[in-house]
Amino acid sequence: DIEQETEKSATDASGIDTDKKVVENVVTKNPDVRTDFLPDRKRDEDKAKEIERLKKEWLEKQIALKKEMVEITYSYWDGSGHRRTITVPKGSTIGEFLEKARQDLAKDFFELRKQNGSDLMYVKEDIIIPSDISFYDLIVTKARGKSGPLFHFDVHDDIRLVNDARIEKDESHPGKVCERSWYEKSKHIFPASRWEAYDPDKTYSKYTIK
């Protein structure tokens, strides 16, 4: 009867039992095939976040490094040396250092009282360092001069028992602070005759002291 027929499993027009689950073609990932080169939005977002985190971490370290104090040994040069020591943050520019040095020197050298830092110059290892360069810049680039490293600001000799021309000497000499006017009058006389402008692209194959 009609009631009994409705309880039977229904069939479609092709005679396939519609109560059975039909499994269609399903594409599965082959674990042996590389897919890391394919676009992956989440992976790209995670990578970008990690790069940003590392960048922020690096910047924070550089800021902390610039705040660290460094002791600078220098000699006020007016034809003879007058050694001094001053402490400044590593992030200080040479111009800022020169003004601080001038203020300290002005206590003993009257001619500096009417001047400012821009009237002075800083010479390290026979290299005239521009006023906009910072000690941090010299340190991180491991800058070098004609007669020694520009990133050591103390004074020390190389005490290694080595006599090999291929091995660079580890010596540091006090930088010189002098008036620009003195340099202009004396640049043809030693030691000023050896000084030259800082060039970050210039490489000194070996240090020479004449």
Q: Reduce the DSSP state of residue 181 to 3 states and report it.
A: helix
Res 79: pLDDT = 84
Amino acid symbol at 208: T
* pLDDT confidence of residue 147: 81
C-alpha 169/C-alpha 207 separation (Å) is 8
pLDDT at 122: 96
User: What single-letter DSSP state applies at residue 76?
Assistant: E
| pTM, rounded to two decimals | 0.68
The amino acid that residue 168 corresponds to is E
Token pair belonging to 199: 């060039």
Query: Buried b / exposed e across 47-64, counting CB within 10 Å, b at 16+?
Result: eeeeeeeeeeeeeeeeee
How far apart are the C-alpha atoms of 182 and 22, rounded to whole Å? 97
pLDDT one digit per residue (tens) for the chain, 210 residues: 444 444 444 455 555 555 555 555 555 666 666 766 667 788 888 889 899 989 999 999 989 989 999 999 999 998 888 999 999 999 999 999 999 999 999 999 999 998 999 999 999 999 999 999 999 999 999 988 888 888 888 764 444 444 444 444 546 678 999 999 999 999 999 999 999 999 988 887 554 444
Is residue 84 within 8 A of residue 74, CB to CB? The reply is yes
Long-range contacts (CB closer than 8 Å, 24 or more residues apart) made by 189-197:
191/126, 194/126, 194/146, 195/123, 195/126, 195/127, 195/128, 196/126, 196/127, 196/128, 196/146, 197/127, 197/128, 197/130
Which string of b and e fits 156-178 if b means at least 16 CB within 10 Å?
A: eeeeeeeeeeeeebebbbbbbbb
74, exposed or middle or buried, with CB in 10 Å at 0-12, 13-18, 19+?
Answer: buried
Placement of tokens 């590593």 in the chain: 90
